[in-house]
A and B are shown apart, each in its own frame.
Chain A
């Protein structure tokens, strides 16, 4: 089957529009750059934490630090998966990459929660719940923006899945960074705040993902 006049014309137009492009670095390197942004946000939080009022409880929860490592691992793996899936020829199975770390993160939080239930005076107040929720969402904003800017370059063909993974990466990193300014035990409300924040961030990413991750294309009329 030969090409039509429309296709020939389009090929000419695309050729005329051709400019040299810089190839995208490999996904693991892009994920590393994004984790660099996480480190920058962490440094800013450490530098400014003296300005913030003392929040939360510095408790004896043995699951807090392992939980933070698990959320960081979830963030890193979700970021790698997001950058992999943003490329057209990568397998859908990349979406499973952060799952083991996510399961460990949820499990450690659950165990910590059960442990603190037995200790009087460790439960979070509704005010602390709101503080925790707001902080995670606030910290995840710059991380989400950085993710969107980086992923947009690939013009992902699976924007919703990439957006969900990006949201998981941002919320996981934000939950980890929270420990720097808001030490907390695995109290029920604190964990609920984590869960709500993660759901909100992933949900917003998915809602906006389709539009934000795929830049307009001047050759596509109905895009």
Chain B
């Protein structure tokens, strides 16, 4: 009984202190306000844990509640308990966040294959596939007839202009364009396995 009495007294004392500080904050006292927000953190964490919030998003709940307090601070009536006001906000926001997480979780699929297919640039497997494809493409280019091979090398690989390529190879622009067109058609077919 004495222990409970002491606890109740200290809770009432904390509530009185927070109530006074929040009333000062409503008047624009920044020091009082920051002290209230700081004192709210452990209370919010305790309530959120009790509501079923796991440790990995307690910080999210705390931040959300602090932001909610900031927006709703005009609704606090200093003739009523601050802790009751804070508890109501925390309980409602925690439930909302838990629901939102639940909904989001239902839309998200755990799919490691999706990561493998659409991974970032530092994917060694995909790099290896690309390397193999490039090697194969070079091999197919080497198998092209002389005229087509020259067109691919000068126009596509070395990125020369038609005029420069014409000078370098001694072929006409029209001949280069036709050869490049035929080469691309042949390569596309071979890479897709249609024409072997």
Contacts and interface: CB of A to CB of B under 8 A. Distances in A.
| A and B together in one complex | yes
Interface of A: 1, 3-4, 6-7, 10-12, 14-24, 26, 86-89, 153-155, 157-158, 215, 217, 219-220
Interface string B145-177: 000000000000000000000000000000000
A3 B63 CA distance: 10
B32 to A, nearest CB: 9
B155 to A, nearest CB: 50
Contacts of A20: 26-28
Interface residues of B, number: 39
Interface in B55-79: 58-59, 62-64, 66-68, 70-78
18 contacts: A7-B63, A11-B66, A12-B34, A14-B37, A14-B66, A15-B37, A20-B26, A21-B26, A21-B73, A26-B77, A88-B92, A89-B84, A155-B68, A155-B75, A157-B68, A215-B71, A217-B70, A219-B70
A18 B25 contact: yes
Nearest to B62: A7
Nearest to A215: B71
B59 A154 contact: no
Given A14-B67, A17-B70, A23-B74, A1 B45 contact: yes
Contacts of B77: 23-24, 26
Interface of B: 25-28, 30, 33-34, 37-38, 41-42, 45, 58-59, 62-64, 66-68, 70-78, 80-81, 84-85, 87-89, 92-93, 96
A6 B77 CA distance: 29
Contact of A155 (B59, B71, B78): B71
B93 A157 contact: yes
A88 B88 contact: yes
Nearest to A22: B74
Query: At the interface, is chain B mostly helix, strand, loop or mixed?
Result: helix
B58 A11 contact: no
A86 B75 CA distance: 9
Contacts of A153: 74
Given A14-B37, A20-B28, A155 B45 contact: no
A11 B42 CA distance: 14
Query: At the interface, is chain A mostly helix, strand, loop or mixed?
Result: loop
B28 A3 contact: no
A1 B73 CA distance: 25
A89 B80 contact: yes
A158 B45 contact: no
Given A18-B28, A20-B28, A3 B64 contact: no
A3 B59 CA distance: 8
A129 to B, nearest CB: 41
A7 B59 contact: yes
B92 A158 contact: yes
A175 B84 CA distance: 38
Given A24-B75, A155-B72, A6 B30 contact: no
B72 A89 contact: no
Nearest to B95: A157
B33 A14 contact: yes
Contact of A88 (B33, B70, B85): B85
B26 to A, nearest CB: 5
Contacts of B88: 88-89, 157
A148 to B, nearest CB: 16
